[in-house]
Structure 1
Amino acid sequence: MFMNRRDFVGLTSLAAGALFLPSLPSFGGELVDPARLLEPGVDVAVKKRLADAALNAAKAAGATYADVRIGRYLNQGIFTREKQVQNIASTESYGAGVRVIANGTWGFAATNSVTEAGMAKAAQLAVQIAKANSKVQKEQVKLAPQKGHGEVSWKAPIQQNAFEVPIKDKVDLLLAVNAKAMDTGASFVNSVLFQVNEQKYFASTDGSYIDQDIHRIWPTFGVTAIDRASGKFRTRQALSSPMGLGYEYLTPKAADKVAGPTGSDVVGYKYSYDMLEDVAAATKQVKQKLTAKSVVPGKYDLVLDPHHLGLTIHESVGHPTELDRVLGYEANFAGTSFATLEWKAKNLPYGSKIVNLVADKTQLGSLGAVGYDDEGVKTKRWDLIKDGILVDYQKTRDQAHVVGQNESDGCSYSQSWQDVQFQRMPNVSLQPGKGKLSVDELVKDVEKGIYIAGNGSFSIDQQRYNFQFGGQVFYAIEKGKITEMLEDVAYQANTQEFWNSCSAICDESDYRFMGAFNDGKGQPSQSSAVSHGSATTRFNGVNVINTARKIG
């Protein structure tokens, strides 16, 4: 069974309370001994036999289509603050979900009785639910064709399973991070390491039997500096990105470091992360933020670091191009999209001609990388916005026909065996510039601007159109050079305005991921993880506000 929110909050409150942590990922499953996470899962031949029991029972009960997902979900979170380990939580969840079409209608049931009898019973219940639903269904489900893949497997190309690293080693790293921050002047610091392993088996009446082993990791921290005289405080979160990698992500490699513009004291990371280096920089920056100049509102050219821009991509491109949102299926919970089918038909410019955004679930090291989605569709890359024009959406098998297509995009996902799969955002990334262009070269053409790194608070309307974004650190740009740190910065725009102001993008050498580890969607809500790649990018004439100024 999944841990409910009350239990989870109780479990993590010591680690998260008042420590300026980013929102925590959902941990599902029963608390277990950490050694349990190293035990092998069920043999693939056994999983095939169990899946066949469900598929055969579904067909015998009247299903015209059925798929089965057998999942083992492992999670571990290690929470520390200053010199203390506050909590270590290891969880495991194991069960199966059966989805069917009967009388042209979906039905779904899940079970933690993973036996042939239990699987068959769940399949029969799913068919009963589908037949009951068919009495009120107005239109029959239309699935895009999908050829069976036979027996195949996919494994994340990790070098070191994070669960195999002794907990003591992981704790030692986090406490070393905390010590580095305190020794260099932080008032408070917390650090956390999240690790996830999804062992997923999919089978369908199309003839697919797919075994996948997926890993994700997220090291992060929060540093606070306080001016004791005034009571003023400032914080800075880690500039790490959650990744679809193993523990090797925490072995720094010089080649993976990417410097921000000269004078900014910002360092970005690609496929490895130096947590000690980042926390030292964060501590220096939070002390500088205590005395930094408050921004003067107005129009500025913005130079946005990938670790910042990823969130803006997520909210202003990723969500509005989800076809279920476009069609209104998410209106009750998360809103709709300005980028309707009618809007798209007009070929209105989503962005400037250098703006090319792709969806891609094949990018190795990304959070969304898998071989096959949760409908058994082989994953791929496709264009969403090409030369500034919206050309496609994100679709699953039962959505493709709505836009006249006969192929799924392979972006179906469920957070667990007990939740039904549905359309979830793939990795959505801004393509780097085609010509050689460094960050310093990007900055030198800016007369009056602001460089922003790290993602902060944000707001966006229900149609994913009007928005406001903050960040972690801000630097003034004057006559092509970084001059000083700024504070209280946020920018406002609408999606079209913003992306049409895109004037230059750095080249491939600067390309990096930002990750959303727990993106929520659906009713009941589910969480998924996606990455957003980009290089440092310039946007001209964007409206900047001062977040500290009082209104009236």
Structure 2
Amino acid sequence: MKRKDFLQLSAMGLGAIALPDFSLLGNPIDPLQALQEGVDVAVKKELADVALSAAKAKGATYADVRIGRYLNQVVSTRENRVQGVANAESYGVGIRVIANGSWGFASSNNMTKEGIARTAEKAVEVAKANAKIISEPVKLAPQKGLGDVSWKTPIITNAFSVPVKDKVDLLLTANAIAMKGGANFVNSSILAINEQKFFASTDGSYIDQDIHRLFPNFTVTKIGNGKFETRKGLGSPVGMGYEYLTPTAESKVGGIVTRYKDRYDLLEDMKNATEEVTQKLTAKSVEPGKYDLVLDPSHLWLTIHESVAHPTELDRVLGYEANYAGTSFLTMEKLKTKKFKFGSDIVNVVADKLQPGSLGAVGYDDEGVPCKKWDLIKDGVLVNFQAIRDQAHILGLKESQGCCYAQTWNDVQFQRMPNVSLQPGKKQLSVDDMIKDVEKGIYIIGDGSFSIDQQRYNFQFGGQTFYEIRNGKIAGMLKDVAYQANTQEFWNSCTAIADERDYRLGGAFNDGKGQPGQSNAVSHGSSTSRFNGVNVINTARKI
């Protein structure tokens, strides 16, 4: 998965224009097969023990086994027709070992005892070959064996149990709203994912997890005066079941946008999007200059992702992750000073693998470490990075932070970002209250195109819809807006954050990283936030 694919897929409605290549994810299956129970836990434990025993017999000092069944379904439509329905299943085992102080990994879809034993032996062979060229042996943070444990996403309705027809009907009903409202093109999709993962290790852990994620999305396009404008759906990908598409009461800010907290009203959002894309055709083009920005969580999640979450990944900090979207401007020296001013005093950012409803929420990571929550930025100061078992000693940690992940059973697990979120303001503050204090500003909703340099420092971000704020009031829609800043300058310009009542999650199914590339599903939460004196450019004007 190439870098930034998550943005491209989001813009396309995850299959609304071109279906994902499920041949990369598994074998096509009938939708009803997704509802069949996976392999019994006792059988998976027996198979895992075969792998652990074979690895130790060949000289491994540590081994872990991941037996995975991965289910994917995408339903996509365009205007008044179904564009595609795809269902895929992938099943196999990945075995990672330490032998002679080095890592080794092998995987297979041969799920017989003999096949699994041979895969474990191959992993040890790889480790011993790697050991000849390593500069120092692997230092693995201790992890107490957990015995037999399990975790499941607390869903109400399994998305795979909902008939394809019901999903098609919902999407086509939404499309009809857009077409009736004058849209020239509309595409929509629903993507469901279920990861059934079993982990075992020589530490004595046997962990069974059942993880569910859902992503509804659409794009509305309207043509006028020889130009076209689009608006994407504001629904977020979530770690929830199909209940996410059961709408609840809505609230509005300045009569502009419907907000969704724990549920998403696809039809209402489609109606709003159609009206807004019509307004975008005649919206005033922005005048470049300095503005106070009021950023909605549906927009701010992406800025957090690129300028906070990625640069605090320890492998980027150390330069291990360099040729895949760069390293990080943050360094170990900046952390060690305990004084590096990443943002203003009200900026508090946490890493959290437990947050309900988030894409990254699991009970245990892919090293069998119980997941947790920890501070990255505290009162504006950089206080920590993201690390896994073989990195913990570099930060002087006694245990892993539990953020190791592999996208499938046949990929080796490595450090992936957890949910990284800006904490709500501590004082009671609504979005309306925040806007009242802005004399010259722009209110930005939804994520758009972006660029950021190879150290996650200098950046530019666009959005979906933009509203001019003049003397504390919304003065109308703008277009051609993008803002530029560097990471430290931007987060130090944060002067207000709405309270927890406005806190919402955004996120991506496909955060790319690594060579060869892997994808990670991750959420980023925030409340609406204000940033003063940010440079805004007009994207339609030639420089």
TM-score, normalised with respect to structure 2: 0.96
Letter in 1 for 2:106: A
Other-structure match for 2:242? 247
CA deviations on 1:206-253 (whole Å, 9 max, x unpaired) are: 0000000000000000000101xx320000000000000000000001
Other-structure match for 1:219? 216
Other-structure match for 1:110? 107
CA deviations on 1:354-408 (whole Å, 9 max, x unpaired) are: 0000000000110000000000000000000000000000000000111111110
Report the alpha carbon displacement of residue 343 of structure 1 after superposing the two structures with TM.
Answer: 2.2
Any conservation in 1 of the 2:13–2:217 contact (CA below 8 Å)?
A: no
Unaligned ranges ≥5, structure 1: none
Letter in 1 for 2:392: A
More deviation in 398-407 or 382-391? Answer: 398-407
More deviation in 61-70 or 325-334? Answer: 325-334
Letter in 1 for 2:325: A
Other-structure match for 1:443? 435
Say which SS state the counterpart of residue 124 (structure 2) adopts.
helix
Say which SS state the counterpart of residue 282 (structure 2) adopts.
coil
Other-structure match for 1:120? 117
Other-structure match for 2:499? 507
Letter in 1 for 2:287: V
Letter in 2 for 1:211: D
Letter in 1 for 2:539: T
Report the alpha carbon displacement of residue 544 of structure 1 after superposing the two structures with TM.
Answer: 0.2
Report the alpha carbon displacement of residue 348 of structure 1 after superposing the two structures with TM.
Answer: 1.8
Report the alpha carbon displacement of residue 18 of structure 1 after superposing the two structures with TM.
Answer: 11
Any conservation in 2 of the 1:234–1:286 contact (CA below 8 Å)?
A: yes
Closer, same or farther: CA 330–389 of 1 in aligned 2, 3 Å? same
CA deviations on 1:39-58 (whole Å, 9 max, x unpaired) are: 11000000000000000000
Does structure 1 residue 492 correspond to structure 2 residue 487? no
Other-structure match for 1:185? 182
Report the alpha carbon displacement of residue 129 of structure 1 after superposing the two structures with TM.
Answer: 0.4
Report the alpha carbon displacement of residue 22 of structure 1 after superposing the two structures with TM.
Answer: 12
Distance in 2 of aligned mates of 1:146 and 1:26:
36
Letter in 2 for 1:417: W
State which of 165, 170, 175 in structure 2 corresponds to 1:168: 165
Any conservation in 1 of the 2:14–2:20 contact (CA below 8 Å)?
A: no
Report the alpha carbon displacement of residue 516 of structure 1 after superposing the two structures with TM.
Answer: 1.1
Report the alpha carbon displacement of residue 119 of structure 1 after superposing the two structures with TM.
Answer: 1.0
Say which SS state the counterpart of residue 200 (structure 1) adopts.
strand
Any conservation in 1 of the 2:351–2:421 contact (CA below 8 Å)?
A: yes
Any conservation in 2 of the 1:521–1:527 contact (CA below 8 Å)?
A: yes
Unaligned ranges ≥5, structure 2: none
State which of 285, 288, 294 in structure 1 corresponds to 2:285: 294
Distance in 1 of aligned mates of 2:447 and 2:208:
35
How does 1:195-210 map onto structure 2 within 5 Å?
A: 195-210=192-207
Distance in 2 of aligned mates of 1:402 and 1:350:
21
Other-structure match for 1:322? 313
Does structure 1 residue 234 correspond to structure 2 residue 229? yes
Closer, same or farther: CA 124–338 of 1 in aligned 2, 3 Å? same
Other-structure match for 1:42? 39
Letter in 1 for 2:37: P
Distance in 2 of aligned mates of 1:120 and 1:534:
46
Closer, same or farther: CA 69–442 of 1 in aligned 2, 3 Å? same
Distance in 2 of aligned mates of 1:344 and 1:521:
23
State which of 514, 527, 548 in structure 1 corresponds to 2:540: 548
Letter in 1 for 2:236: S
Other-structure match for 2:529? 537
Say which SS state the counterpart of residue 336 (structure 1) adopts.
coil
Does structure 1 residue 388 correspond to structure 2 residue 380? yes
How does 1:80-479 map onto structure 2 within 5 Å?
A: 80-227=77-224, 230-254=225-249, 257-259=250-252, 261-263=253-255, 265-346=256-337, 347-479=339-471
Letter in 1 for 2:229: R
**Off by >2 Å, runs of 4+ in structure 1:** 15-27, 343-346
Letter in 2 for 1:134: A
Aligned residues: 535
Does structure 1 residue 526 correspond to structure 2 residue 518? yes
Q: What's the C-alpha RMSD, in Å, of the aligned pairs?
A: 1.8
Identity across aligned pairs (percent)?
Answer: 69
Distance in 1 of aligned mates of 2:127 and 2:16:
46
Distance in 2 of aligned mates of 1:242 and 1:269:
13
Any conservation in 2 of the 1:474–1:485 contact (CA below 8 Å)?
A: yes
CA deviations on 1:279-325 (whole Å, 9 max, x unpaired) are: 00000000000000000000000000001000000000000000011
CA deviations on 1:496-532 (whole Å, 9 max, x unpaired) are: 0000000000000000000111000000000010000
TM-score, normalised with respect to structure 1: 0.95
Letter in 2 for 1:328: G
